[in-house]
């Protein structure tokens, strides 16, 4: 098992603990600091693998900036208007992909960069779900969308410990963008639209992960 795979297990467990404590304490800062600590651990453990040339790299700095933005949204959500969160969230969502473009352009692609970007995407989704709950816009069921990634990681490492890297598809990427867009729009005033978008987003990402879970439990 690689250091990246070991970290994903630790990260999933730490995030689940952070979510639980945040829900109990009604304080999203708990999850924010939990996430920051886990990502700093990833950076520390993999410092020799950041890029092919050794240094952190411009692309990873862009990804780190996106993490900073996600944490700001989560930490100050209750004191900021939903519209502001939605707009800032869309800016972060649109900026996602810039890091990959820079990495390809500057030939700085790496396993670390791919992992860093992917896990921050998952953390962003989870933070938005938690904000929706904290603002009493929807019930805890919306966490289904935010926690599927972490459940998948734990099941993958348990059932298929020999798999070094899960399958990545363009369809999953597109679904992520649609789901994030739907959840960010659901922050805007309109109960009917909010519920419809949230239910649709949850169903869509559940469908996306269903193929992954089926693959984990298959005998192939």
pLDDT tens digits for range 186-201:
998 877 788 999 999 9
Q: How much is the pLDDT for 164? A: 65
pLDDT category at 108 given cuts 50, 70, 90 is confident
pLDDT at 7 over 60: yes
Residue 119 clears pLDDT 80, i.e. is over it? yes
What was the pLDDT predicted at 216?
A: 83
What pLDDT band is residue 170 in, cutting at 50, 70 and 90? confident
The more confident residue out of 2 and 39 is 39
CA atoms within 13 A on the CB side of 157: 18
CA-to-CA distance for 49 and 67, rounded, in angstroms? Answer: 19
Other Cβ atoms closer than 10 A to 197: 20
- Report pLDDT for 48: 83
- The confidence band for 96, taking pLDDT boundaries of 50, 70 and 90, is confident
Q: What percent of the chain has pLDDT over 70?
A: 97
Question: Is residue 128 classed as helix, strand or coil in its secondary structure?
Answer: helix
Q: Which pTM value belongs to this model?
A: 0.93
Domains of the chain in sequence order: 3-217 (1.20.120)
The predicted pLDDT at position 151 comes to 95
14-70 residue pLDDT tens: 999 999 999 999 999 999 999 999 999 999 999 888 988 878 989 999 999 999 999
Query: What's the pLDDT at 193?
Result: 85
Distances from the Cα of 219 to the Cα of 98, 160, 214, 215, angstroms: 38, 10, 10, 8
pLDDT computed for residue 220 by the predictor = 57
Phi/psi for 59 (5° steps) reads: -60, -45
Round to whole Å and give the CA distance between 188 and 60: 31
The pLDDT value recorded for residue 167 is 67
Rounded mean pLDDT of 95-101? 86
Residue 1 has a pLDDT of 64
pLDDT-above-90 percentage for the chain: 66
Mean of all residue pLDDT scores within the chain: 91
């Amino acid at each position: 098992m690689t250091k990246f795979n070991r970290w994903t297990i630790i990260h999933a467990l730490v995030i689940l603990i952070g979510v639980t404590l945040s829900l109990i304490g009604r304080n999203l800062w708990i999850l924010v600091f939990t996430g920051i600590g886990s990502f700093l651990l990833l950076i520390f453990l993999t410092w020799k693998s950041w890029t092919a040339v050794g240094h952190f790299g411009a692309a990873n700095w862009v990804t780190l900036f996106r993490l900073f933005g996600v944490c700001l949204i989560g930490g100050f959500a209750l004191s900021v208007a939903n519209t502001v969160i939605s707009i800032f969230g869309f800016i972060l969502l649109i900026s996602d992909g810039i890091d990959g473009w820079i990495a390809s352009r500057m030939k700085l692609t790496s396993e670390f960069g791919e992992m860093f970007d992917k896990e921050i995407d998952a953390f962003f989704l989870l933070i938005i779900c938690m904000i929706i709950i904290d603002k009493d816009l929807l019930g805890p069921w919306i966490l289904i969308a935010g926690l599927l990634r972490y459940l998948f990681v734990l099941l993958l490492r348990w059932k298929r410990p020999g798999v070094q890297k899960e399958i990545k598809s363009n369809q999953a990427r597109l679904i992520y963008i649609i789901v994030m867009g739907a959840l960010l729009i659901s922050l805007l005033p309109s109960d009917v639209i909010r519920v419809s978008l949230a239910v649709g987003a949850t169903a869509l990402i559940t469908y996306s992960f269903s193929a992954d879970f089926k693959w984990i439990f298959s005998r192939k």
